[in-house]
Amino acid sequence: MGETGLSADDEQLFKEMGYSFSRQIGSGSYAKVFLAEKRDKENTTKKLLACKIINAANAPKEFTTKFLPRELDILAKVNHPNIIFIQGIFRTNANILIFMQNADRGDLLEFILSQQEITEEAARTWCHQLTVALQYLHALQISHRDIKCENVLITKHMNAKLADFGFARFVSTERERNLPSRTYCGSIAYTAPEVMRGKPYWPKIADIWSLGVVVYVLLNRSLPFPMDKIPPKGIYKMQKEKKWKFRSRAIEKFSTDAQDMVTSMLEPEVRKRPTANDLLLSSWFTIQDTNGARNSIELTKYEKVAYECGLGSVKLPPSDTVQIETNKFNLMENEKEPFPSENNLILSLSVNRIHEEELDSKKDIPSRPALEKIPSTMDVKQAENGKTTQ
């Protein structure tokens, strides 16, 4: 077996199907991510992809029997321009392979940590794209349950795409809508206080809190709570008491509309927290026309079509989806993207390289939470009693 963990025969079979593997670009608890290519049948064009290879044999039973089947089911059903496109899903022996659109500029955390300052225009555009993606998922009765900067990918044309549905689930059945969730999963720095309590919670509204943390990081280049200094019980108390603040530079640089939206998303009282539909009507997502009137940012053509498809009012554009079952594979493959076009935002979303010391006034520095990659976990519960584990 090579670096991918696949047998030589399997790699050859994928090669015959047009897939080839390059270098490893990431890894997780049970998976590795490789740069890959997909050539067309005529071998005239190629598409750069990322391939997530999950070794199910090394994963715990709960992951392989509950979380992984949910993820694959959801990935086969979602199609949205602001969600990373899935080229194909394959199974061979103990490995699951998910080929997806490659995000040339990495994840949002990597982008922020590369010493680039995000403009308000960029922050608003990316936040709007993610909110529209969340509106679509919630219309399909899907909750992501692990929204964080590492699961937001930035493409070549500077668009934000939601990715990694490892903890996602449907939140309704034919018999009952809006089912509460009893799995206390996610990434603790982005987890809503009601999830950390370890009691049944409404997962769609918890997604809004997590997205609020992402937007906070976009504006402040730090987390709202000092995860490296305070135990989970203390973080939970800070969440409930709203003991967080914007950094001084963020207050100076970003509009009150931007700050107000983050404040509304980090509302500890579930019933007061806005939905995705509410957020799309917020002041930050309005623009002023030549007559001085303010109008909500209009959805793109493909965002509108995707949402209408989610509601079942129109049919999805043809994607040439092929589903095949053989002795070797269970295969779902999209030969054509239903939403192939992206907004070209490179020129409009300028960024500026800055020095870290420029971000803070002296009063900010001692308490500024460190910004680093946060692992996802299947147990972020019971912070109320001080029993949370990472």
Residue positions in the annotated binding site?
52
Known binding-site positions for ATP: 52
> What stretches of the chain adopt beta strand conformation (E)?
19-27, 31-39, 46-55, 86-92, 95-101, 116-118, 142-143, 152-154, 160-162, 169-170, 286-288, 294-296, 321-325, 330-334, 351-353
CB 154 within 8 A of CB 103: yes
Distance CA 92, CA 26 (A): 21
Provide the token pair at 68.
Answer: 């992984």
Distance CA 279, CA 273 (A): 10
Other C-beta atoms closer than 10 Å to the C-beta of 370 total 11
- Checking DSSP bridges between strand 169-170 and strand 160-162, what pairing results, if any? unpaired
CB 140 within 8 A of CB 76: no
Q: Is 9 a catalytic residue?
A: no
Distance CA 215, CA 199 (A): 26
| Per annotation, catalytic residue among 146, 164, 207, 360 | 146
Q: Which positions are annotated as active-site residues?
A: 146
